[in-house]
Amino acid sequence: MNRQALDELKQQIPLMGYLQAHDWSPARPLRSGRWMGLCPLHEDRKPSFLVDTNKDLFYCYGCGRGGDVIRFAELYHQVKFPEALALLRQWCGVGHSLHDAERFYRIQLHRHSEAFAYLYQRGIRSWSTIELMRIGYAPGGCLRGWLTQLGHSLPALRQAGLITGKGYDAYVRRIVFPLEGNLYGRSLSAVAPSHRFLPGGKGGLYAWAQVQRYPEVILVEGLFDCAVLWEAGFHNVTCSLGTHLNARQFRQLCDAPRTVYLAFDDDPNRSGQEAAQNLSRSLRERGIAARLVSLPEGHDPNSFFVQGGDARQFQSLLEAAHP
Ligand SMILES: [Zn+2]
């Protein structure tokens, strides 16, 4: 890649936008387009990470590292220069096609009553939740045409995982939730695998930018758990998309003093409960207060509300949660 191509890539990805997409938020403004915040590259307690939006450069007074968006990607993802470039290029292209796919799926939701029926049955009944979580529906078989018409190339769509190697839509009859840099698809059909993600990571904790300001946070496994709690009026809820937290999700939970309520599934094989216990131990080692929420046998937060549980009852489960 020559100098000019590098500059073009950097122009397409303003440093601030990239940082924010990776859950960085500025803590305070300085003069002339410069911001301070916590350093995402080392464990930072008071803001020592400086971002200059005019020059598109960063510098950390704590760990002494600095540079442009490419340097940041190298350090953040712990990769070498060529891989960082590949990641950034992919982030540009994939981000764009995911965004267009999300818009398409949201339109489709209005055209398919089976999708609404499914959401209703899973306890998602208010329009504001659907809007807020930007929920869509993938009927299957028409995304490719829409996206190629918008100018996306087939190889790019394959790379994003939206289209299969044979050229079909990857998501068929799935409720779709946009994540950061991915789309989660929940199958309506009992024969297909229930949960699917596109290639690439599941990203950080769901809606962390909004949730992180609460001193008490409820952590659940899935998006449907999140949605019903949201509808019941609990806004301090996030989900890890599975019982296993990736390193970034764990770091997020530990980024400030807080109490974390772990409301994982009460599975018959105890996997949810065991994962919650392990996680609570790791959180406590990092000085974060963790409480285990016991749901009635065989329930997850979603089924608890779908089968008649209400906010007051869930509140008493929170109050009864133990370390
Ligand atoms: Zn630092």
CA 43 to ligand 1 center in whole angstroms: 7
CA 137 to ligand 1 center in whole angstroms: 41
Residues 84, 67 contacting (CB under 8 angstroms): no
CA 126 to ligand 1 center in whole angstroms: 42
CA distance 239 to 51: 29
Residues 251, 205 contacting (CB under 8 angstroms): no
Provide the residue type at 51 as one letter: V
Tell me the whole-structure pTM to 2 decimals.
0.78
CA 30 to ligand 1 center in whole angstroms: 18
| Residues surrounding ion ligand 1 at CB below 5 Å | 39, 41-42, 60, 62-63
CA 44 to ligand 1 center in whole angstroms: 7
Ramachandran area for residue 231 (φ above 0: left; ψ -120 to 50: alpha; else beta): alpha
CA 144 to ligand 1 center in whole angstroms: 42
3-class SS of residue 296 = coil
CA 90 to ligand 1 center in whole angstroms: 25
CA 297 to ligand 1 center in whole angstroms: 45
CA 47 to ligand 1 center in whole angstroms: 9
CA 70 to ligand 1 center in whole angstroms: 16
3-class SS of residue 208 = helix
CA 13: distance to chain centroid? 20
CA 50 to ligand 1 center in whole angstroms: 9
CA 38 to ligand 1 center in whole angstroms: 8
CA 49 to ligand 1 center in whole angstroms: 6
pLDDT in tens, 5-62: 888 888 888 898 888 877 788 888 898 889 999 999 998 889 999 999 999 999 999 9
pLDDT in tens, 73-128: 999 988 899 889 988 887 887 888 898 999 999 999 999 999 999 999 999 999 99
Give the orientation angle of helix 3-12 with respect to helix 69-77, to 10 degrees. Answer: 80
Percent of the chain with pLDDT over 90: 69
CA distance 184 to 202: 8
CA 26 to ligand 1 center in whole angstroms: 14
CA 130 to ligand 1 center in whole angstroms: 38
Minimum mean pLDDT range among 45-49, 146-150, 235-239, 246-250: 246-250
CA 48 to ligand 1 center in whole angstroms: 7
CA 66 to ligand 1 center in whole angstroms: 9
pLDDT over 80 at 201, yes or no: no
CA 272 to ligand 1 center in whole angstroms: 35
pLDDT in tens, 298-315: 999 999 999 999 999 999
pLDDT in the model for residue 96: 82
Helix (H) or strand (E) holding 137: strand 136-138
Residues 260, 287 contacting (CB under 8 angstroms): no
CA 45 to ligand 1 center in whole angstroms: 10
As given in the structure block, the two tokens for residue 216 are 């008490």
pLDDT in tens, 26-41: 888 898 889 999 999 9
